[in-house]
Amino acid sequence: MTKQENYFRATDFGVPEWIPIRVSLMPATWAKYREALEEIVMEFPFIFGEHLPGSIGFDAFDGTYNEGEFTDAWGCVWKNVAPGLDGMVVGHPLPNRRDVRNFEPPTGIVGLPHGFMFMRLYYLRGFEQLMIDFAEEPPELQMLIDKVLEHNLMEVDALVKAKPDMAVFGDDLGNQDFLPIHPQKWRKYLQPCYAQMYAKCHAAGARVYMHSDGHIIEIIDNLIEAGVDILNPQVGANGLDHLARVAKGKVAIDLDLDRQRFPFWSPAHIEAHVREAVEMLYAPEGGLLLYAEMEPDVPLENIRAMCETLMKFKDFDG
Amino acid sequence: MQNYDELRECVIAGKKAQVAELVRKHLDEGKTAKDVMDNGLIPGMAIVGKKFQEGEFFIPEMLMAARSLNAGLEVLRPLLEASDVKPVAKVLMGTVKGDIHDIGKNLVAVMLRGGGFEVIDAGVDVPPDKFVELARENGADLIGLSALLTTTMPSMKDTIDAFQSQGYRENVKIMIGGAPITQEYADEIGADGFARNASYAVELAKKLLGVAA
Ligand code: B12
C-alpha cells in the first residue's frame, strides 16, 4: 500500500495499515540546526522522504518568512520581526466601519493562505474593531463577511478545478483556553461561510482538511456539520480527553502534538505524550493521524526522539 | 440618594452613552469623582472580569464594557486631576523581544485600566533594555511581560535579568503571562507573579502592589 493510499484510509476510516505520521520543521529551525538537522532528516526517510544533503538553503526563506514589511493582496500590511517564522498584520485597511462599504476584495485568484476567513476579518478591521463589531452586530459586519466569503468561494472554485483528493484550509479560531467570540455568534456568522466553501469541495470530490489553532472544543461539532473531514487541532489548548469526547470517530483527527511542551520535555516525556494520545484516540478503522511541528527552541535530541517515537507508534494496534 | 447599581449594570452591559450620563448625574448629586470611580465604575468592571473568567463573557463583551468604563472615566478625569487623585499604580505592559502576539497583552491592559491602573503600552517585540528604559522614564511600579511563544519565553528571563543588572529590579514588581507560561516558569526566572488571563491579571497586580481588591 502506498503512503497516500494509507493516508486516505486513515482519513476515511477505511482501516489503514499504520497511523500516518508527519514532522514539520520551521525555516527558523533549519537555520538554527543546519547540517545537524539534516542528519536527523536522513535517518528517517519514512517521515521526510529521500533527502539529498545540501538540498536545503538553510537561510533562504520564502517571501513572508523574511524580516521586514510587505502588503498582501487584500491591502493588509504585514511585519515580520523573527526571520523564519510568520509575521503579523500591523496595517489594517478597514479601520472604520464605513471603509467596509467601499471595500473591494482582490479580483483575481490570490490563493487561500492561513487565516482565510475569521482571521482575514481581523486582519482587515483590526482585532479590537472586529470584536466590537461582533458585540454590536452592525450591518457592516455581515457585509464584510459576505465580501470575504464571496472572494473565498471564487478561490475554492479555482482550487477544486484540478480535482484534488483533498483541499487544505487553515484558520485559527481559538485562543489558549476559550473562543474569542461566543460560540453562538460563531455559529451564526462564521459557520455558514465554512459550510459554503466546504460544500464546493465535496461537490468536486475533495475531502476537506482544516487546521485551527487554539481551543475549539465547543465548535468541533459545528465544524463537522460545516463539512470538515480531517481536523488538525492543538492538543494543549483542547485537552486529549475533550478531543476524544467530541471528535473521536466523528472526524479524522490529524493531532497537532503539544508543541508548547516540546522544548521543555525529555525524550521520555515525548514518548509518554505520544503514547497517551494514541491510546486515547486510536481506533482500528482509522481516524487518527499524528503531526509534530518543530520550532527552533526544541532541542535536537527531542526532534530525534519525536521521530523515533512516531516511527514506533505508527504501528500501534491497540 | 441613588446607589450605583444602575451605573454598574450599564458598565457590564457596555452602554457607553448611559455610563457617561449616569456618571454626570452622580456628580450632580454631589458624589465625588473618586467615589464614583471606586464604588461605581471599577466594581462594574470587576464583575465583567468574573463573567469572563466564568466563560459567560467573551472578548467582544469585555471590550464593550471597557469602552463604556472609559467613557465614564473621561467625564471624571478632569475632576480627578484637579483633586490630585492618582491612579492606583502605573503598569508598563509589553510583549517581549521576538514575539509579536499582542491580543492578550492588549486585553490585560484593558482590564488593568478598568481596575484603576494607568497602563503604559510598550508595544510588541520589546528588547529587555527598552523595558528598563521605559520603566525608569515613566516611573512604573509594575511590569507586565507577555510571551505567546515558547521560543520567546527566554526573552522574559533576559528582561528580568536586565532589570537586575541595571540596578532597577528593586524598584518594580514583574508579572508575566501568555499561553505557554506557567507559575513554575515564573518562579524559575524570578518573576513576582503569573496570571492565566486578563481578569486574574488585575487581581495579581493588586496583590503584588498591596492594593486593596
Ligand atoms: C492569533 C495567533 C497568532 C497571530 C497573532 C496576531 C496578534 N496580533 O497577536 C499571528 C497569526 C500573527 C501569529 C503568528 C505566529 N504564531 Co501564533 N497564535 C495565535 C493564537 C491562535 C491565539 C493567540 C491569541 O491571540 N490569543 C488571544 C489572547 C486573548 O489570549 P492570550 O494571548 O493567551 O492572552 C491571555 C493570557 O495568556 C493572559 N496574558 C497574556 N499576556 C499576559 C501578560 C501578563 C503580564 C499577564 C499577567 C497575563 C497575560 O491574559 C490574556 C487575556 O486573557 C495562538 C493559539 C493559542 N493556543 O494561544 C497561536 C500560537 C501562540 N502561535 C504559535 C506560533 C507557532 C506562531 C508563529 C511562530 C507561526 C509560524 N508558523 O510562524 C508566528 C510567530 C510570530 C512571532 N514572531 O511572534 C504557537 C506557539 C507554539 C509555541 N511553540 O509556543 C501557538 C500556540 C499556536 C500553535 N499551533 O501551537 N499567531
Would you state the pLDDT for residue A241? 97
Instruction: Report the residue from A127, A136, A181 with minimal CB separation from B58.
Output: A181
How far is the alpha carbon of A14 from chain B, nearest alpha carbon, in Å? 36
Domain ranges of chain B: 5-82, 90-209
Q: What is the residue-wise DSSP string for B72-117?
A: HHHHHHHHHHHTTPPPS-EEEEEEETT----HHHHHHHHHHHHTT-
Record: contact B125-A81, CB cut-off 8 A: yes
Tell me, in angstroms, the distance from the centre of ligand 1 to residue A65's CA.
17
**Among candidates A104, A216, A229, which has minimal Cα distance to A164?**
A229
Main-chain phi, psi angles of A315, to 5 degrees: -95, 15
Range with the poorest average pLDDT among A48-52, A77-81, A254-258, B134-138: A48-52
pLDDT over threshold 70, residue B112: yes
Instruction: Report the residue from A88, A176, A264 with minimal CB separation from B179.
Output: A176
H-type helices in chain B, by residue range?
A: 5-12, 16-28, 33-36, 42-53, 59-82, 103-114, 128-138, 153-165, 183-189, 198-209
Instruction: Report the residue from B55, B67, B150 with minimal CB separation from A263.
Output: B150
Q: How confident is the model at residue B84 (pLDDT cuts 50, 70, 90)?
A: confident
Main-chain phi, psi angles of A88, to 5 degrees: -140, 165
Whether A28 contacts A37, CB under 8 Å: no
pLDDT over threshold 70, residue B213: no
Tell me, in angstroms, the distance from the centre of ligand 1 to residue B82's CA.
41
Whether A219 contacts A190, CB under 8 Å: no
Distance CA A168, CA A197 (A): 12
Cα distances from B190 to residues A309, B99, B174, B183, in angstroms, run 34, 20, 9, 11
**Among candidates B107, B126, B133, B125, which has minimal Cα distance to B200?**
B107
| Cα A100 versus chain centre, distance | 28
Tell me, in angstroms, the distance from the centre of ligand 1 to residue A5's CA.
35
Tell me, in angstroms, the distance from the centre of ligand 1 to residue A192's CA.
26
* Whether the domain at B5-82 and the domain at B90-209 fall into the same CATH topology: no
Q: How confident is the model at residue B36 (pLDDT cuts 50, 70, 90)?
A: very high
**Among candidates A239, A202, A286, which has minimal Cα distance to A210?**
A202
Q: Which of A92, A122, A127 to mutate to test the interface with B (most CBs of B within 10 A)?
A: A127
Record: contact A128-B106, CB cut-off 8 A: yes
E strand intervals along chain A: 21-25, 68-71, 77-80, 88-91, 166-170, 207-212, 230-233, 252-256, 288-294
Q: What is the CATH T-level fold of the domain B5-82, as seen in this structure?
A: 1.10.1240
C-alpha cell at B146: 507577555
Mean pLDDT, chain B, whole residue set: 94
**Sheet of strand A88-91, all strands in order from the earlier edge strand to the far edge:** A68-71, A77-80, A88-91
Whether A121 contacts A145, CB under 8 Å: yes
Would you state the pLDDT for residue A10? 98
Q: How many residues does chain A have?
A: 318
User: Measured from the CB, is residue B99 less than 6 Å from ligand 1?
Assistant: yes
User: Measured from the CB, is residue A88 less than 6 Å from ligand 1?
Assistant: yes
How far is the alpha carbon of B208 from chain A, nearest alpha carbon, in Å? 25
The answer to whether residue A69 neighbours chain B at the CB level (below 8 Å) is no
Tell me, in angstroms, the distance from the centre of ligand 1 to residue B101's CA.
5
Mean pLDDT, chain A, whole residue set: 95
Residue of A nearest to B107 (CA): A128
For ligand 1, mutation pick of A24, A29, A64, A88 (most atoms within 8 Å of CB) = A88
Would you state the pLDDT for residue B2? 62
Would you state the pLDDT for residue A55? 82
Distance CA B66, CA A274 (A): 42
Q: How confident is the model at residue A14 (pLDDT cuts 50, 70, 90)?
A: very high
How far is the alpha carbon of B139 from chain A, nearest alpha carbon, in Å? 28
How far is the alpha carbon of B32 from chain A, nearest alpha carbon, in Å? 31
Record: contact A175-B179, CB cut-off 8 A: yes
Class of domain B90-209 as given by CATH: alpha beta
Distance CA A153, CA A251 (A): 23
Chain A (194-233) residues lying within 8 Å, Cβ to Cβ, of chain B:
none
ipTM: 0.92
Record: contact B58-A296, CB cut-off 8 A: no
Query: B198-209 vs B103-114: helix axis angle to the nearest 10?
Result: 50
Would you state the pLDDT for residue A173? 98
CB pairs under 8 A between A and B: 68
Domain ranges of chain A: 3-313
| pLDDT tens-digit series, residues A166-211 | 999 999 999 999 999 999 999 999 999 999 999 999 999 999 999 9
| pLDDT tens-digit series, residues B117-160 | 999 999 999 999 999 999 999 999 999 999 999 999 999 999 99
Would you state the pLDDT for residue B151? 94
Would you state the pLDDT for residue B1? 43
Tell me, in angstroms, the distance from the centre of ligand 1 to residue B103's CA.
8
Instruction: Report the residue from B102, B180, B196 with minimal CB separation from A260.
Output: B180
Question: Which residues on adjacent β-strands are paired with residue B120?
Answer: B92
**Among candidates B88, B65, B51, which has minimal Cα distance to B10?**
B65
The one-letter code for the residue type at A61 is F
Class of domain A3-313 as given by CATH: alpha beta
Q: What is the residue-wise DSSP string for A236-284?
A: HHH-HHHHHHHHTTTSEEEEE--TTTTTT--HHHHHHHHHHHHHHH--T
Q: How many residues does chain B have?
A: 213
- What percentage of chain A reaches a pLDDT higher than 70? 100
Whether A92 contacts A76, CB under 8 Å: yes
Would you state the pLDDT for residue A265? 96
